[in-house]
Amino acid sequence: MKPEEIRGFPDQLPSPDEKAMIAAKKRWDRIAKPLHSLGKLEDLTVQIAGIQGSPEFCVNKKAVIEICADHGVVAEGVTQTDQSVTAIVSENFLRGETTACIMAKSCGADVLPFDVGMAVDTAVRTDYKIKYGTADMAHGPAMSYSEARKGIEAGISIAKECKEKGYRILAAGEMGIGNTTACSAVTSVILERPAEEVTGRGAGLSSSGLMRKIEIVGRAIRVNAPNPKDPVDVLAKVGGLDLAALAGLYLGGACERIPVVMDGFISDVAALIAARLCPSVRDFLIPSHISREPAARLILKELNLSPILQADMSLGEGTGAIALFPLLDMAERVYREMKTFDEIKVEQYRYLI
C-alpha cells in the first residue's frame, strides 16, 4: 500500500523546519553553559522546534494517547491473563487508576484512552472502533487488509483531533492483552529475524510459557505468510489494531506537526510500521527508552534512533514516554530562562576543530 492510499494522509509528508532547527541550535549555543552540555536533551528540543516549525517551541500541553485493543491470539495461552484485563485497565485510564495515569498526573499530562478494537464496549470512547478484537492469528489472518488500513486511519484522525484541542506533544501508549505476541510476529516478518530472537516474556511469562509463545509466533507466520514488503499486509495477518492505530498516530503527528514520543516495544513496532509506510516519518520520531523486550534494541537500531532512558522498563501504557516528559520540561525551561553569554558579559564558548 502507498501512503497516499491511506485516508487523511497527504501525498507528501512535510519536512521538519530547517530554519527553526538552526535558530534553536544557535539559541542553545548562546546560553551561558558549556556547548552541548545537555547532550540529547538539546538535540531533542532542536528536533521538536523543527517538528513544530518554530524556535519558540512549546511542550506545555501534553497528552498520553492510550490505544486499546484485544488480540485473538490470547486463546493460544500466550499470556498470564485473559482478555477481560484489557477492558478493566482501559476503564481505569478514565478513573486515573493506572501507573501511566499517576505518572502523567505528576507532569501535568492528560490521559486519553481510545477503543479501536476491544472485545467488549466499555466507558472508553468507541467512535474510532474498527471491530471487536482480532481473530486468532495462529489459524488465519488477525484481520482483513481493509481493517488494518482503517486502524491506521483512526490513528491519523486521533492525531488531528489532538491538534485541534491544542495539544503540543503526545506520548504513544497502549493497552491490549496479547499485544507483545503480535508485535513479536510483526518484528520477525519485517526484520526477517527468527521468532526466538524477537520474542520475549511480555508481562512475566515462565520459561515454558515463553517457549509456547515462540511456537505460536512461528506458527502464525507460517500459516499466514505475510508479505514483509507490505507493512499493511503484515499488520492484517499477524498484527493488531492497536499497532495499526499507533502507526497512524505517528503519521498523523508528522502531518499535524505534533511531536509523538515513542514508548517501548509495542510503540517501537508501530514506529517501524509507520517508517516502512513512509520513510520520512523517521525525522519526526522521538524515542524515550529501551524496553526490556529483546526485539526493542533491534528495532531502534533499524530506525537509527538512540533512546534517552535505560531503566529496564517494560510496563507499557506509555510509561516510558511519560518518563521523558519531565526532562523535556526542564530542557525547555533552561532554553527559555537561562541567560546568554552576551547578557552576562562573558566570552562565548566556541566549537574547536
Rounded to whole angstroms, how far apart are CA atoms 275 and 167? 23
Side by side, which strands form the sheet with 285-286?
Answer: 109-117, 62-69, 169-175, 260-261, 285-286
- Is 347 tagged catalytic? no
Distances 310 to 257, 261, 290 between C-alpha atoms, Å: 27, 15, 6
Nearest to 107 by CA among 325, 341, 345, 290: 325
Count of CA atoms in the C-beta half-sphere (13 A) of 253: 32
The C-alpha cell that represents 171 in the structure block:
506520548
Pick the catalytic residue from 76, 147, 153, 317: 317
The C-alpha cell that represents 97 in the structure block:
487508576
The C-alpha cell that represents 41 in the structure block:
536533551
Rounded to whole angstroms, how far apart are CA atoms 301 and 104? 28
Rounded to whole angstroms, how far apart are CA atoms 174 and 167? 18
Catalogue the active-site residues.
317
